Each structure stands twice: as C-alpha cells, then as structure tokens.
Structure 1
Amino acid sequence: MQNGTRAALVTGSTSGIGLSIAQRFAAGGYDVAMNSFEADADVAEIVAAVAARGNGRVRYFRADLADAVQAHGLVGAVIAEFGRLDVLVNNAGVQKVAPVEELPPADWDRIRAISLDSAFHTIRAALPGMAARGWGRIINIASAHGLRASPFKSAYVATKHGVVGLTKAVALEAAEKGVTVNAICPGYVWTPLVAEQVRDQARVHGLSEDRVVREVMLAPQPTRQFVQPEEIAELAAYLCGDAARSITGSAISIDGGWTAK
C-alpha cells in the first residue's frame, strides 16, 4: 500500500458492470486489480484507459475463474503486487438461456463455477488479511435473479441465489472483524452479457430482439429502463465508505422496482 491507498480487486472487469466499477475505484484513488480470462495484449488499451482515470496503480491479472486453483491464486497474485487487498468485488459471471432439460451439464458446471464457486475461492483467500487489519469490504454482484426466478435460466438463478446465501453466511462470520459483506442485486443492466441474453431469448421465444427487450427483458422492471453500469459502480463505491460500515449481510436491489412486486 502506498500512502494509505487501498487496493481493490474486481473480477470480470474488462467490460460491463465490472469495468464501470474498476473505473469508479480508479477515479477514487484506489489501486485496482482488473481481471478476465483474455490475453494481456487484448485488454491493454482498456486497462490503460482505467489507469488514466486516477493516480493509483492499475494492473491486469489474467485468470480463468472457472478453475478453482486460478480463482484462489488470483487473490494471492494481487496481494503480492499491491501488498494487501482491502476490497474484493466478485463480479465475474456467465449466462446460458435454455429449458432445463436442454441445458448441457457442462454449461451448468461452468456457470456455477464462475458465478458462485469463484466467489467462495476468492473470499476464502482474501478474508484472513482483511480480518487481520480490522477492515475490509466484500461485494458480490448477484442479481435480481438471486431473489426471483425466471424460466429458462435454471443455472443462473440457482447460482445467484447461492451468491446471496454465501454473502449472508460470510457477513455473519466477519461481523466482528471490521469486514462487511454485501450483495448487489441488479435488474437488467445494458451490458454485453445482456445483449447476448437478448439474442438467446429471441431464439427461445421466437420473437424479434426489439420485442424481447420490450416484452421480456424490461417487462419485470416497472421503470421500463435498463439499469446503467455506472449506477452499480456508485453503489459499490458507497458500500466501501465508512458511512456504510453498518451495512452487512444485505442483498441490495437496484432493479427499477422489479423485486418490489
């Protein structure tokens, strides 16, 4: 740590929600560890653009979070680079839309491994150091689907419910250690992942992509608007502040009113 700078790791942070969170933390003066499975050269411009937003160090750590060894080792690599890890944001996730009887077991395994198992492995590696220093923030990006279900998303819904449960359990364990653990549960956010879902849903429902957006994707959200990635980033930044020290074990919805119904 340099001059009191806190270090944050954001998994799955070269696009979408994760990228917005990395950008927000960099602008806030954090040392930021970005992560994806892409080759270093393929993300060099993205990492440089994030670094340009602040004065802290920004580094890229390649790891396939479907692999337990790489997921656990990612935290160790970040600590070796920055000297500590103060904020962990488990954002990495994948999606597959299909009826449960048509969902390949390999897709189930990969969705679970990336969306749920990797959060366990990174938390397990990061929590001891946070607890030893008496301060830490763990933020798991869950989903409205961690609180509600939708058809054709059995693996995603199951794993996001699991993320919420993991959040609550670890929050109780860390409650007296100065470490808060929360889940952010977004509704539909316009990201590359959602764009892919639109195409999949169009295929499953036999609708045009425009109709999928109006009649399927945004139908549950009373605002009829996509959540923007920057909104998630601002909430993550707030949860890392001292004013949020009593918020722990929470599944915080940011979903245009979806789960209010």
Structure 2
Amino acid sequence: MEIEGRTVVLTGATSGIGAAAARRLAAEAGHLIVQGPESEAEVGELLAELRSAGRASVDYVSADFTSFAEVRSAARRVLDLADGIDVLVNNAGVPGSRRRQLTADGHERTIQVNYLALTLWSELLIPGMSDGGRIVNVGSTTHRMTSLALDDLDLEHGYDPVRAYAQSKLAIVTYSAWLASRLPRDISVVAISPGVISTSLLHSMFGGGGAPVEHGGARIREAVLADVPSGTYIDDGEVIAASDDALDEHTQAGLADLTRRLTS
C-alpha cells in the first residue's frame, strides 16, 4: 500500500509513537486524519506542525476511547471527512492502571481503550475504506506474556496492570489474525510490535530505556508499505509468527463472538 497522496487515519496520534508516526505520514499523505483524546485547541501546536510538514491536508477528530459513544460519533465524523480511507492505523493505547478502573461502559479501562474501542472503530470505518486498503494494528511483544481470559476479559479477578496491558495487546493480535480472512475488497490487516520504545507508557509500567519514538513511527510507516499477506505479524521490522494463543482458531472465534457482544 502506497502512502503518497493517500487518505490515512491514525489513532493515538497526539503523543509518543503516534505523534512520531503522524509527522512521517503528514509528509507523504494527501489527507491525514488524526485522533486523540484531547480537544483540538489542546493539540493546536502539533496540528500546525503536521500541516507544515508536507502537502497533506490534516484534520483532527477528538474522541475519548473510554466511551463507546465517543468512538461512534468520531467514526461518523471520519466518514464525513474522508472520501475513501486508504490506510487505517490503530495505535491508541494506555498502560494498565495501578488499580483496576472501569469505564462508563462498564469495562476494564485498559481492555476498552486498547482493544474494544479499536474493534468498534475498525468495524465502523471498514465500510468506508477503499479497495485494497491497509489496516495496521499496533500490538506489542508483550502479547506473548499472557493468555486471554475469555471468561473474564475485564479482569474482575486477578487484576494486574501488566497483565491487563499484555492481554489487551494479545487481543489485538488475535483479532487481527481472525479479521485477516474476513475483510472485503482486498483490504488487508497487519499487526505489529513497533519495538521497545521510550514512551511514558513504557516507563510507567516497565521502567526506563527503549528506542526513540521516531523508531516506532518508522515501524508504523514500514507496516503500511510492507508487501506482506493479510494477517502478517511484524515484530520490530521482522516478520515472525504471532503467539500460539493468537493463532489458535478456537480462541480467535471465541474472542470475536465475545467482542461483538461487549461492543454492541
């Protein structure tokens, strides 16, 4: 999938890896639509930078992914703005909170923001995607650290912030593998781990270290361009198999069914 002159939608674009990816994509895209939880006024400086980075027209859509109502409203706004979406990058994410928190929709905050909102957002936008479009879902190598609690996805029992984060990323990778063979019109999906990146999210959960955010932004761009089959998992630039749990068809089907019920 080419980026030059295309319409690109990027979530989680106002900080960290997302902002770094937005800067790269703004230099090449024809139309860049970025999402973040802040008001447009709060991210005015970033938007001005993106608008001066290249020839892309840049629109901002504010949406707090702790609210399914805001996800639905923002998706409608994107469809109004875009004359066909060529690239959808799902990057929005939060770390596991120190103590278990519930959203207004009644879900554990990490799983809703990182995964459930991603699936709802994607399902709403896929009908507006162009033939041969590309979806990039940003997962993490932490998806290998856990298994999916399909009987307790909201982690009412045994909550731990790292487990919550890892489970949300495993859900993303699993969903991506399930979705790959079900997308219409030659739309493809790729799940990635952008590497260990120095962000506030990493530091809040795992301490210091990590590569610059520009490294993560570059990995997102590479995933958009990669000539790989739908359903591919790319870990820091290397095409490898996702975890056995993510590739298990029974787990994929169970997660898909549960996700439909939780987001309906």
Same fold, TM-score > 0.5, yes or no: yes
Deviation at 1:68, TM superposition (A): 1.5
Structure 1 unaligned runs (5+)? 199-211, 219-225
Tell me if structure 1 keeps the 8 A contact 2:7–2:29.
Answer: no
Q: TM-score, normalised by structure 2?
A: 0.75
Q: TM-score, normalised by structure 1?
A: 0.76
Tell me if structure 2 keeps the 8 A contact 1:134–1:177.
Answer: yes
Distance 1:66 1:5 in 2: 32
Distance 1:30 1:121 in 2: 26
Tell me if structure 2 keeps the 8 A contact 1:145–1:161.
Answer: yes
Identity %: 26
Structure 2 unaligned runs (5+)? 148-159, 242-264
Distance 2:215 2:75 in 1: 26
Distance 1:113 1:173 in 2: 23
Distance 1:197 1:157 in 2: 11
Counterpart of 1:145 in structure 2 is 142
Deviation at 1:31, TM superposition (A): 1.2
Distance 1:248 1:89, change over 3 A: same
- Normalized per residue, the structure richer in helix is 1
Tell me if structure 2 keeps the 8 A contact 1:7–1:87.
Answer: yes
Deviation at 1:178, TM superposition (A): 1.7
Deviation at 1:97, TM superposition (A): 5.5
Distance 1:74 1:169 in 2: 25
Q: What amino acid is the match of 1:45?
A: E
Larger CA Rg, structure 1 vs 2: 1
Query: What SS does the corresponding residue of 1:184 show, helix, strand or coil?
Result: strand
Q: What amino acid is the match of 2:59?
A: R
Distance 1:71 1:97, change over 3 A: closer
Map 1:1-261 → 2, pairs under 5 A? 5-96=5-96, 98=98, 103-106=99-102, 109-130=108-129, 133-149=130-146, 152-174=161-183, 177-197=185-205, 212-213=207-208, 226-241=210-225, 244-254=226-236
TM-align CA RMSD: 2.6
Q: In the TM superposition, what whole-angstrom CA distance separates every residue of 1:73-110 from its partner, at most 9, and x where no partner exists? A: 32321221232221111111111255xxxx42527711
